[in-house]
Amino acid sequence: MARRPELEEATPWKLADHPRLGKGKVVGVVVLDGWGEAPPDPFNCIRVADTPTMDALKKGAPERWRLIKAHGTAVGLPTDDDMGNSEVGHNALGAGQIYAQGAKLVDLALASGKIYEGEGFKYIQQSFETGTLHLIGLLSDGGVHSRIDQLQLLLKGASEHGAKRIRVHILTDGRDVLDGSSVAFVETLESDLAKLREKGVDARVASGGGRMYVTMDRYENDWQVVKRGWDAQVLGEAPHKFQSALEAVKTLREDPKANDQYLPPFVVVDETGKPVGPIMDGDAVVTFNFRADRMVMLAKALEYETFDKFDRVRFPKIRYAGMLQYDGELKLPSHYLVAPPEIERTSGEYLAHNGIRTYACSETVKFGHVTFFWNGNRSGYFNPNLEKYEEIPSDIGIPFNEQPKMKAVEVADKAKDAILSGKYDQVRVNIPNGDMVGHTGDLEATIIGCKAADEAVKIILDAIEQVGGIFVVTADHGNAEDMVKRDKSGKPVRDKDGNVQPLTSHTLNPVPIAIGGPGLASGARFRKDLTDAGLANVAAIIMNLHGFEAPDHYEPTLIEVSTAQYLSASSADRTYQ
């Protein structure tokens, strides 16, 4: 990742000692994924679940428990109507600073027109004269992975900058937006493409499929998902063929078990049955999702000449760019339309420079969050002599609602072992259940998942107790605390048969943060003045608990130490000595 030399020189890596919080205590950092705070409700799976550990943190020491924001401007997104997600959440948690993120970066580039002046667009533009521009991504207004209005602007801008033939390869959502909304999104897109055709641009939808079954896998969990997309997008092959995307989505949704997330792959064909838009030599390809995690695998397939994850059959010579660069360390993709935020001087890097030994762990589906995203979109170690990252393989091919306990206990056991080993100053984990099971919309399974997450927290906190350490328990965004679609009055939305419609997306709710443990100074508590604090304030807290002051350019800490209690404790220490 690029560094600004002037910042390197102006800001030393050495952190000042905290005047009232000492060093030498093991700090356990637990991130509960998808664990927001909301009033009790039959659809609040966290409140319904048996979660005695988390309940005790809230009720037992109210001065050491509070809520923080995990969405919108608090994590760098454009507005407070934008749901947070695990990637921007962990960026903020680890960076201690608020950076313009994902959608906001793209919005700025599109609004200013700078997207068309950059190296990435000029690179793909070289294919416009004789080739086709292919746009691949999630067709949705969910704002977590992509937004349809950005696709609309890109279609308009690309056509105005020379694209003569455009093919869109859509992935239906149903996860960040209501299931069934795919039809309306396709209707909108088809209308836009028809207007482009009226202007002489050959623009059509070429293929599609549901996001969880086609293309959008992550962390190399199931390459067959990417292969299904590859076969449709590149080879023009799929089990279902239609003469329009609208016909495809409407027909495939007639299956009683159909779900936008899992629609099978399809290709659009002409009247002779020939695919209208397979990716060919000389074409340009843009993956228009702004969120990285579910584009990395496709990016590897499109860019890497040496590739063995599945038989690509044909590897077209294309000009490929991502909407953003999805992995800064791997430089993947090598071309991108919008430059990533330069997340510099993260807490992990500061602490490594100050001798803090760190262990980070999660299972596959969230391993990248406590490592890559926490460290500012950076792969690898800051100091391999001080850090160890361990990944617990997630279940493959088993829906999360069928195995809702996931690997929570296994991750917690690894954390316990790391804490008790005496080898580490910080032990950091992500417990994924609230998010991953919550996304299935299965209330019963999510309740089980939340209970398992709570049990994992207890294992870790018990280990912290045993070594006299300190803990921080927080979350990255909401999900499991509100599992039903609601109308404007807050009442559950029901279908024609009276069944509630499950909410599978993240939420706008705040998340809890709790501190404690026998190693925490007796007078340490949360401040009450920073009511709008968010995830970016957490890094300063963690630095404080390691005995350091946070850098001046970080979001302020939420910890204060009561003068009376601090003086009393100091006096008692001197008397004992």
pLDDT digits (tens, 9 = 90+) for 359-388: 999 999 999 999 999 999 898 999 999 999
Instruction: Kindly list the distances between the CA atom of residue 515 and the CA atoms of 1, 84, 374, 471, in Å, as whole numbers in the listed order.
Output: 32, 23, 19, 6
Q: Which residues pair with 242 in a beta bridge?
A: 268
Measured from the Cβ of residue 271, the count of other Cβ atoms closer than 10 Å reads 6
Give the 3-state secondary structure of residue 537: helix
pLDDT level of residue 566 (50, 70, 90 thresholds):
low
3-class SS of residue 155? helix
pLDDT for 19-31, tens place per residue? 999 999 999 999 9
Catalytic one of 86, 207, 362, 394? 86
421 token code pair: 């080993």
More confident residue, 462 or 489: 462
Stronger pLDDT, 493 or 264, i.e. the higher one: 264
Strand-by-strand arrangement of the 511-516 sheet? 65-68, 511-516, 470-475, 27-32, 426-431, 358-363, 387-392
Give tens-digit pLDDT for 389-412: 999 999 988 999 999 999 999 999
129-154 pLDDT tens trace: 999 999 999 999 999 899 999 999 99
Query: Which H or E run includes 555?
Result: none
16, 357 Cβ separation under 8 angstroms: no
pLDDT at 218: 81
More confident call, 564 vs 110: 110
Antiparallel, parallel or unpaired: β 202-210 and 266-268: antiparallel
Buried b (16+ CB within 10 A) or exposed e, 21-34: beeebbbbbbbbbb
What integer pLDDT is reported at residue 77 of this predicted model?
84
pLDDT of 79 reads 81
Per-chain mean pLDDT for the chain? 93
* Residue 6 binned pLDDT confidence (cut-offs 50, 70, 90): very low
421 is catalytic: no
pLDDT band at 7 (very low <50, low <70, confident <90, very high): very low
**What is residue 327's predicted lDDT score, i.e. its pLDDT?**
75
**What residues contact 152, with CB distance under 8 A and at least 6 apart?**
189, 192
Q: CA 499 to CA 485: how far, in whole Å?
A: 11
pLDDT at 3 over 60: no
Q: Which pLDDT score is estimated for 4?
A: 42
For residue 204, name the pLDDT band (cuts at 50, 70, 90): very high
- Among 84-93, 145-154, 206-215, 238-247, the range scoring the smallest mean pLDDT is 84-93
* Candidate from 221-225, 310-314, 431-435 with smallest mean pLDDT: 221-225
> In this structure, which amino acid lies at residue 12?
P
Residue 222 has pLDDT above 80, yes or no: yes
- Going by pLDDT thresholds of 50, 70 and 90, the confidence category of residue 564 is low
For residues 234-253, average pLDDT? 98
The amino acid at 395: D
The helix/strand/coil state of 234 is coil
- Which percentage of the chain shows pLDDT scores above 70? 95
Residue 133 backbone dihedrals phi, psi, to 5 degrees: -95, 120
Comparing 139 with 292, which gets the higher pLDDT? Answer: 139
User: Has residue 166 got a pLDDT over 50?
Assistant: yes
Predicted TM-score (pTM) of this structure:
0.73
